[in-house]
Amino acid sequence: MEIEVIRKTDPEVAELIEKEFERQQTTIELIASENFTSKAVMAAAGTVLTNKYAEGKPYKRFYNGCENIDKIEELAQERAKKLFNADHANVQPHSGAQANMAVFMYAVKPGDTVMGMDLSNGGHLSHGSPVNFSGLYFNIVSYGINNNGEIDYENVRQLALENKPKLIIAGASNYSKIIDFKKFKEIADEVGALLLADIAHIAALVATGEHPSPFPYADFVTTTTHKTLRGPRGGIIMCKQEHAAGIDKAVFPGMQGGPLEHIIAAKAIALKEALSDDFKVYAKQVVLNAKALANSLIEEGLDIVGNGTDNHLMTLDLRKMNKTGKDIANVLEKVGITANKNTVPNDPQSPFVTSGVRLGSPAVTTRGFKEEDMKEVGKIIAEAVKNSDSEEKLKELRHRSLALCKKYPLYED
């Protein structure tokens, strides 16, 4: 890591960065929304591009001196369009939530009805949570999942017919099944709604054919560039050509000022990487690893919401173990596994405690983990849950997780 120049200026920050690298190096990262970028992506995020203001669009800026910036941003746009077979791409959103906010700004007015997945059932804050802009300024109708952990499309249709939303959101932050974008489009057309597909979590799977694409159906597609896509932290909005001008105006001047051009350069590199054959192999392995982990946990007697996964994540349901997500996430951290507490459907616990833990395979797949490794990870998790009060057992499990980390070191030269 390029740390020496930081150490000369600020040894305190340098020391904390080094400690964070060591934490990542020695921890099994199962947070489904995290990943490890390539060295090239990371390097781009720390270049002189951070010095340049570039409000506006390529070749239509409000500042001079953007000739190189314009070409970089144009590369990112074209690569996004090629990767996803999209008509138009805006690569300026700072995050997935801001990408969603820009779509709201363009597509609906405050007070309009919007449908999205309920946060407690696997949706995202920006899909209508009452504590988020989406829930504060719009009339939100939420749909959820059934006892099999699946979206009930007929229920979605009935809710749409009853409430006549202007915008329907298909997408989630914690949903382990395949999303049927075609059915969502049929429902949207039936009630005259626009369709937003939020693929922040499954972007790499969509790009490589491991998950069906929303692009034949959705008016707007938003994504983050981290998570499965393995780029820098940021967002992208893609849309049909008829919405391009409106979306661009919603991003700037509607939502943001100057874009982060150093991050856009990192996005461009990540998108180039995602167009490679190696990335297809990675995305396929992400799904194989997630299935192997889910199967291992089930074999060990633990419950998974929906009894498995079709993508990169799953939720461990701890209710029958009489344990909370908050407690078990902390226990897992003791044994060198990072995950996050998460609600389960009909959760008796509060969102700050929860009865579940979300687990994902993207980051460990980037490190090189395969199915046999995931089976061992599942066993470590199960033993940690069952022996959460035994410090001696947790120490033993920590040694086992560390052995896996040493097998797959980060950022080897």
CA dihedral 42, 365, 28, 399 (to 10 degrees): -130
Asked if 131 contacts 331 with a C-beta cutoff of 8 angstroms, the reply is no
Q: Which two tokens stand for residue 269?
A: 């590199």
Distance of CA 234 to the CA centre of its chain: 10
Q: Which two tokens stand for residue 127?
A: 């899909």
Q: How far apart are CA 247 and CA 360, in angstroms?
A: 31
Q: Which two tokens stand for residue 254?
A: 């509607």
Positions marked active-site: 53, 55, 198, 224, 227, 233
Q: How far apart are CA 292 and CA 373, in angstroms?
A: 9
CB-facing half-sphere around the CA of 117: CA atoms within 13 A:
26
Q: How far apart are CA 96 and CA 99, in angstroms?
A: 5
Sign of the Cα pseudo-torsion (302, 308, 314, 317, in order): negative
Asked if 167 contacts 104 with a C-beta cutoff of 8 angstroms, the reply is yes
Q: What is the DSSP letter of 223?
A: E
Q: What is the DSSP letter of 59?
A: T
Q: How far apart are CA 379 and CA 368, in angstroms?
A: 18
Other beta carbons within 10 Å of 122: 29
